Chains A and B, each alone.
Chain A
Amino acid sequence: MIIKSTDTGFVHPVPSEITPEAVYQQRREWLRVMAGGVAGAAMASWAARSAMAQMPVGAGTGKPAPLPGTRSGVPGAMTIEKVTDYRDATSYNNFYEFGTGKSDPARYAPAMKTTPWTVEVEGAVRKPAKYTLEDLLGLSALEERIYRLRCVEGWSMVIPWVGYSLNELIQRVEPLGNARFVEFVTVADASAMPALAARILPWPYTEALRLDEAMNPLTMLVFGMYGEILPNQNGAPVRLVIPWKYGYKSAKSLVKIRFTERQPSTSWNRVAAPEYGFYGNVNPNVDHPRWSQSSERRIGEDGLFARKRKTLMFNGYEAQVGQLYAGMDLEKNY
């Protein structure tokens, strides 16, 4: 008897877990680069063994190296929505240091140098330290999390990020009792960022969170996306992702993390306080002064003639983060 089934046997939990062949091939390039000493002595010695065997194949393809992460167990971290096309997620970006056009970051960011890279952790912590990128990569197990990303401009994507909870780092530096906020300073590299001269925003771009927001397990320190290291236009080599806040809160290309007692000023808030609040929580009920925030267009999915989809409170992460704002007037604290 023949039992007919539509199941092909190839059922993957999420599309992003399927590694394209091209990506698999580039692992060799990554290993070769690491063996060249870029990734630091400790990892290089491990990588060298594999790299030697792999050297001739796949080198010089110019595509990002793979960076796999294990499926995250953090509640809310694995939406089952359709993942945005890699091409859209890496060609439609806001990264004003490279220009205000959506395609400017993809055009100019490749010139940015991301090796070597260090992130300084300072301020109200017991253990301030300067971390190299390799230190950070080895600090905790890399997880893959699929988050919704809602831009304050009214569009959204679904992106599989690779990294871990920022809290892993926070625990290691041991915040002091007076630490109440965390400030994030991003890179301002005039040699690679053509728009720095335009003074659109106060550079370097800075962002900040309340300490409890920063410690929420959903707040993520990110090194990769789609199973690969971050492309420069998406904030390489290390960035923040806070899925319940508008995208501008998720600072890219971090160079400094500072723990403070007072609420730090933030770049967008400084230039347009009525439009960009300190919190920047996704909230369909509080409109941006120049447009409604009640709906959004999902990039690559909501076609030209589709109605925009409803924006969810805290971008759909209310169950995980709602308690952080209990009793607060979100009309005032936008």
Chain B
Amino acid sequence: MGVARILLHPAAKPALFGVCLLPLAWLLGAVLTDRAGPNPAEYLIRSTGDWALRFLCLTLAVTPLRVLSRTPALARFRRMLGLFTYLYGALHAVSYVGFDMGLVLSDVLTDIGKRPFILMGFTAFLLMTPLAATSFNRAIRTLGSARWQMLHKLVYGVAVLAVLHFFWMRAGKNDQAEVLVYVAILTLLLGWRWGRLMVKNGKNPSSAGQS
């Protein structure tokens, strides 16, 4: 059980934490050393969005991987990956508000009303907020495991909105190759859950699927 030993090692979480910070360090480094290209604002807005989507995929991959590989120890990293999804999502939102909208909140509100893809992204970010806010142990205890689980199913909605946001943003460019990669990954991850739910319900309709 070498893998489990590594995953359960006390240093495993801090190590993952460090790895998750690497993209952020890279982005900051690029901006500070003038490697962010001719349009650093666009670079930051797009890169933080890309990373939010990547972390979302990673977060949603934990459970299928844990079950399929019979590695229960993987579960201890799910929360951290989820919180990093929120961090990169928040950086994405802040970059957009700061660099694209010049911190003018009335412009942001007009923009949300006017551009469907901004509305999608904004809603996805809003839906992630209660998840991040209830990510600590006491919140789980306070809410009760069942209610906490219910609430955290919102992440599936976030995934759909995030992909729609990306798709709509690219729609005018007629270039969806990258979007389709995320659609494929998320379809696989959500499809696996749906399939498991169907199987479970078939066997025992009273037990709800556990995410």
Contact = CB atoms under 8 A, between A and B. Distances in A.
B8 interface: no
A297 B42 CA distance: 10
A304 B41 contact: yes
A103 B43 CA distance: 12
B39 interface: yes
Interface string B9-41: 000000000000000000000010000011111
Contact of B172 (A92, A275, A297, A308): A275
Interface residues of B, number: 26
A103 B37 contact: yes
A198 B180 CA distance: 14
Contacts of A305: 98-99
A300 B38 contact: yes
Interface string A270-299: 011001000000000001011110000101
Contacts of B117: 290
Contact of A200 (B100, B115, B174): B174
B95 to A, nearest CB: 9
A299 B38 contact: yes
B173 A299 contact: no
A83 to B, nearest CB: 14
A174 interface: no
Interface string B100-117: 101000010011001101
Nearest to A90: B38
Interface of A: 85, 87-88, 91-92, 100, 102-103, 155, 198, 200-201, 271-272, 275, 287, 289-292, 297, 299-300, 304-305, 307-308
Nearest to B36: A304
B169 interface: yes
B171 to A, nearest CB: 8
A200 B40 contact: no
Given A287-B114, A292-B111, A297 B174 contact: no
Interface string B170-208: 011111010000000000000000000000000000000
Interface of B is mostly: helix
B115 A290 contact: yes
Nearest to B98: A305
Given A289-B115, A307-B102, 18 more contacts: A88-B38, A92-B39, A100-B173, A102-B37, A155-B39, A198-B175, A200-B175, A201-B174, A272-B174, A289-B172, A290-B117, A290-B171, A290-B172, A292-B107, A292-B110, A297-B42, A304-B40, A304-B99
Given A201-B174, A271-B174, A304-B31, A290 B38 contact: no
B174 A290 contact: no
Nearest to B95: A304
Given A201-B174, A304-B31, A92 B38 contact: yes
Contacts, number: 57
Contact of A308 (B102, B114, B171): B102
Closest 4 CB pairs of A and B: A88-B38, A92-B38, A307-B102, A100-B175
Residue with the highest number of chain B CB atoms closer than 10 Å, among A87, A287, A291: A291
B115 A291 contact: yes
B100 to A, nearest CB: 8
A308 B173 CA distance: 23
A271 to B, nearest CB: 6
Nearest to A308: B102
A200 B177 CA distance: 11
Contacts of A88: 38
Contacts of B102: 307-308
B39 A299 contact: yes
A102 B40 CA distance: 12
Contacts of B111: 291-292
A271 B110 CA distance: 27
Contacts of A289: 115, 172
A297 B39 contact: yes
Nearest to B169: A290
Contacts of A275: 172
Contacts of A290: 115, 117, 168-169, 171-172
A95 to B, nearest CB: 14
A200 B39 contact: no
B94 to A, nearest CB: 12
B52 to A, nearest CB: 19
Contacts of A299: 38-39
B48 to A, nearest CB: 13
Contacts of B40: 304
Nearest to A303: B40
Interface centre among B31, B98, B102, B117, by most chain A C-beta atoms within 10 angstroms, is B102
A257 B98 CA distance: 44
